[in-house]
Amino acid sequence: MKKILSLMLISVLFFSCSEDKMDEINEDRNNTTEMQSKNLLPDLLLKSGFESTGTDIAWYATVYVEHNAGTWNQSHQADRRIAQNASSLLNNSWNALYDVMNIAKTIINKTDPETGDEPLEYYCRSIAQIMMAYNLAIATDGWGEVPYTEAFKGLENINPEFDKQSTLYPEIQRLLDDAILNMGKATNTFTYPVKDYIYGSLGAAASRAAWVKTAYALKARFALRLTKINGVQAAQEALAAIPNAYTSNDDAMLLGGFVIDLPGSNPWGEFWYMRDHLSVSTTIFDLMTARNDPRVDAYFSSTDPADIAPIGAADQVQGGYSQSLLTSGWDAMASPILMFTFHELKFIEAEAKFRVGDATWTTALQEAIQASFDFVGVEGAADYYTNEVAPKLTAGNELKEIITQKYIAFYDREAIEAYNDYRRTGFPEMKNPNNATVGFIWRFPWALSEVSSNSANVPSWTIFDKVWWAGGNE
């Protein structure tokens, strides 16, 4: 009997060892469930450009803020304010943002100095924190309250509560402050190079410096966002960050590498080529022609007033109106996604200095306009400022003209920030007649994925309610 039991035990042990060995042999090493932070970083940067900055959110924002009129399909509906409260409208963008932020959170967790398994990867940690701040801001700016504190936990919490915007903005600044400190500890010396698609081509030391500049630029952007909340303090905080941020167009946060040929062109170019939804609106066109702006020929495929789409009332037609050369020209299809430009920083400086009573705001405004002209390769910025802009800087009209010039410079690939600026300042005046009859779109509709699976936590706000920093409630 003992002999039989011994044989049975040997058989079980042999079978167990064999199973373990077979499991090891059958493991798919090309489909790993864990990745190092340096391998996650390229996905984070690419998706932040494509899915957060360069697609649906921007294409709806450009219609809401009247850079472009929607002249086909969903964009035409946006122009007419039809079905803009549908939970499916920006569901894909919501899910993409949370996918991107989940990647950022994974890197942040893996590189935590105390609990992570890659505690010395400060370069990846810093960039992940910057991109978490960047994407979190896009989410809360668009929707208001959004899940954050209880998010990114997978099955551990599939029904996260929504954080108030008033708690998210301090967290955004904390992430950026921590990122600046961590980049100071970084060496970014890896066994093979990290694919940093934003600044990686600059070399190790220069890329670290460039990311620090971007963190400070973002601090300035997000500080000034709170002008309705913090008043002059918002401008002071922006000005405190600016000296450490960009100093030229060369510093800009751009996602490049695109080519003219499909499918390698940028998403704005592909959107034009595949769908042709957008046309130059009378709002932006009238502002520029009234100022004899030299950039009109670089901006628009036609400057004949008869070819400009009447905002809110254009026919539904593909290719029947003037279009943006910055996105629909063949050369433009190889242009980068604009995540933060030098001219934006200079406009922030001009506004912030004006708000604190610093007389050099006019110099900053001139420099902002010059940077915008340089960025699109147009000459005549000095004469334009002297002859067209300066005469409009009369008492009581200064802020309006600063924001109007920023709005013009943002056409049309920086539509998200133009939309944020309008909601924050009310400038320039929107002309879409459907704003009066239906309502201006002050925030995006709640995503279907949240409405269907997390409805108990979804706030009650609608698209016609302002977000907190724009003067709304929480």
pLDDT tens-place string over residues 250-261 = 999 999 999 998
The rounded distance, in Å, linking the Cα atoms of 260 and 446 is: 35
CB contact at 8 A, 142 and 57: yes
**Residue 347: which of 401, 285, 390, 277 has the closest Cα?**
401
Can you name the residues that pair with 68 across neighbouring β-strands? 280
**Cβ neighbour number for residue 455 with a 10 Å cutoff:** 10
pLDDT of 24 strictly over 80: no
Q: Which of 28-42, 56-70, 369-383 has the lowest mean pLDDT?
A: 28-42
| Residue located via tokens 């036609």 | 302
Give the DSSP H/E element, type plus range, for residue 146: strand 146-147
Considering only CA atoms, which of 350, 339, 304 is closest in space to residue 323?
A: 304
Say if residues 135 and 100 touch (Cβ distance below 8 Å): yes
58 has pLDDT over 80: yes
Which two structure tokens, joined as six digits, stand for 178?
Answer: 């921590």
pLDDT, residue 281, reads: 98
CA distance 292 to 295: 9
Burial level of 288, CB count in 10 A (0-12/13-18/19+)?
A: buried
DSSP state of 331: G
pLDDT recorded at residue 167: 98
Range name among 245-249, 268-272, 444-448 with the lowest pLDDT average: 268-272
Q: How much is the mean pLDDT over the chain? A: 93
Tokens of 147: 């899940």
Residues 347-373 pLDDT 10s? 999 999 999 999 999 999 999 999 999
Q: What is the pLDDT of residue 29?
A: 58
H or E, element range at 280: strand 278-280
Please list the alpha-helical segments (H only) found in 27-55.
37-47
* Helix (H), strand (E) at residue 327: helix 325-328
What is the tens place of the pLDDT at every residue in 271-326?
Answer: 999 999 999 999 999 999 999 999 999 999 999 999 999 999 999 999 999 999 99
For 87-118, the DSSP string reads: TTTTHHHHHHHHHHHHHHHHHHHHT-TTT-S-
| Mean per-residue pLDDT, 138-150 | 98
Over residues 207-235, the mean pLDDT reads 98
| Helical pair 342-356 and 398-409, crossing angle rounded to 10 deg | 170
d(CA 392, CA 401): 7
pLDDT at 330: 83
Domain ranges of the chain: 37-263+334-470
Can you name the CATH fold of 37-263+334-470? Answer: 1.25.40
pTM, full prediction: 0.93
- pLDDT tens profile 11-22: 444 444 455 555
DSSP structural state of residue 70: E
Cβ atoms of 213 and 245 within 8 Å: the answer is yes
CA angle 67, 68, 69 (to 5 degrees): 135
Distance CA 435, CA 395 (A): 29
Task: Report whether pLDDT(57) > 90.
Answer: yes
